[in-house]
Amino acid sequence: MCGIFACVGAADATGQVLQGLHDLEYRGYDSAGIAAQSGDGLVVLRREGKIRQLAEALETTPVSSSCAVGHTRWATHGRPSDDNSHPHRSCDGTVAVVHNGIVENYAALKSQLAGAGHTFASETDTEVIAHLLEERVREGEDLLMALRSITPRLEGSQAIAAISTAEPDTVVATRVGNAGGVVVGRSDLALYVSSDLAALLPHTRSVAFLHDGDFVRITPREAAVVRGDGSSSPRPFQEIEADPAAALKGTYSTFMLKEIHEQPEALTDTIQSLVSLDPLEFRMPDLGAAAEGLPSIRRVVLIGMGSSLNAAMIGRQYFERLAGIPAEADNASEFRHRAPVLGPDTLVVSISQSGETVDVLEAMNVAKEAGALQITICNTEGGQTTRVAEGTVYTRAGLERGVASTKCYVAAVAALNVLALHVGQLQGHLAAEDLRPHIAALVRLPGLVGKVLAERVGVEEAVLELSTATDAFFLGRGLA
């Protein structure tokens, strides 16, 4: 997954962008780069490899700037290299662009631009965006208008941020389709754009989430959001409660190890936010309009990717056992390509830690067109899935930076259990006396997980044995 981070207004914008890229490292990348306004021009530094190599380049060539954009790239078009790294510049060097997503028709656009005299310095699809912006700016459009003008020509889903020498202390950005999130952050000293909420939290907790089709211009003073036709579309800033300290490793050697040991807390916070034993009641206010449809659903479809798909497979058994409703689990990337049969009596449950998983969002759009009722399991306030679904069940796992999900996974499984219990109660499949032992077991679960983590019996021995194995087979049945 690629990452975008931009800063306007801070005296050391390049340093803040570099820190933002560090905070996006967990997404995976093979190269990184920064573009900064400096004097009357743009300075662009890009390096294949780790962010520390980019940091070393900045130490060798310091760049003082109050406006900068940065990017971590995972190669799609073009091999990992300095030249293929973002940001990409226009021919005349006046525009720099960073981009998440895929320009599906880039070959045709590149051919048209080359025919018009543009020269290309990379193998990427992203570079066509810089040249298209250059043409519109040359025609007299400001950078935001230029971005609005060119996006209809880009096939596929895109998240884009750009700067120009013509507009000091200005970053423009857009989110079109489902290429990942775009979040605007606001502090007393600067404004920011990031593809991930976690990277903003060290700087501010005041954030606004762009919707699909939004365009934003940020300056040191304001963030102005418009739609593609130029109409104003304010997105209110909200205060995020997540603790920035949760993003630090603390005494643990890796984020993953830290997050493994945070599983009891993640389970406690998630379960306590959703259900109570005394009094026996469900607390799910974010179900919203979906709550009214739950008593009449006759089928459940759960969708996810990766570990979320694994959680969905467990959730399928919960709905069948606890609610007595036929259920199935689907890979979100395949779901939208097989013409699924859905209707108003079908509940589609999507699972996405970030709320920004592209394949999950595409599958949700298919479900929406079919008129299915939708609930999303999400760990991120304001994630895109929460805006597509009629209802949300939030997990309370906190920030998770390990690529292999741990605490968010177990929190999602717990949330699915609670949701299945709630549906079972609403449909008369479970009476109060049936619910109590299930909920009591949920309440005990965090403590039991904590005991397992504390004992660590045989863990080191098992790890040593597995570390030298060339193959491993994991066997189980049912919920195992």
Output the pLDDT for position 441.
93
Burial pattern 121-160, b for ≥16 Cβ within 10 A else e, equals ebebbbbbbbbbbbbbbeeebbbbbbbbbbbeebeebbbb
Residue 300 has pLDDT above 60, yes or no: yes
Mean per-residue pLDDT, 279-289 = 92
Q: Which residues pair with 71 in a beta bridge?
A: 4, 33
Note the pLDDT tens digit of each residue in 143-157.
Answer: 999 999 999 999 888
Please provide the average confidence, as pLDDT, over all residues in the chain. Answer: 92
pTM: 0.68
Q: What confidence tens digit (pLDDT) does each residue in 327-384 have?
A: 999 999 999 888 899 999 999 999 999 998 989 999 999 999 999 999 999 998 888 9
Query: What φ, ψ does residue 343 adopt, rounded to 5°?
Result: -160, -175
Look at residue 428 and tell me whether its pLDDT is greater than 60.
yes
What value does the mean pLDDT take over residues 224-228? 96
| b/e per residue 27-46 (b: at least 16 CB within 10 A) | bebbbbbbbbbbeeebbbbb
Residue 122's pLDDT is 95
Tell me the C-alpha to C-alpha distance, in Å, between residue 191 and each of 16, 49, 206, 210, 216.
11, 28, 10, 14, 12
Quote the CA–CA distance of 54 and 44 in Å, as a whole number.
11
Residues 6 or more apart in contact with residue 19 via CB below 8 angstroms: 202
Does 247 score more than 60 pLDDT? no
Contact partners, residue 266, CB within 8 Å, separation at least 6? 395, 396, 397, 398, 407, 408, 410, 411
Q: Match 């525009």 to its residue by tokens.
A: 95
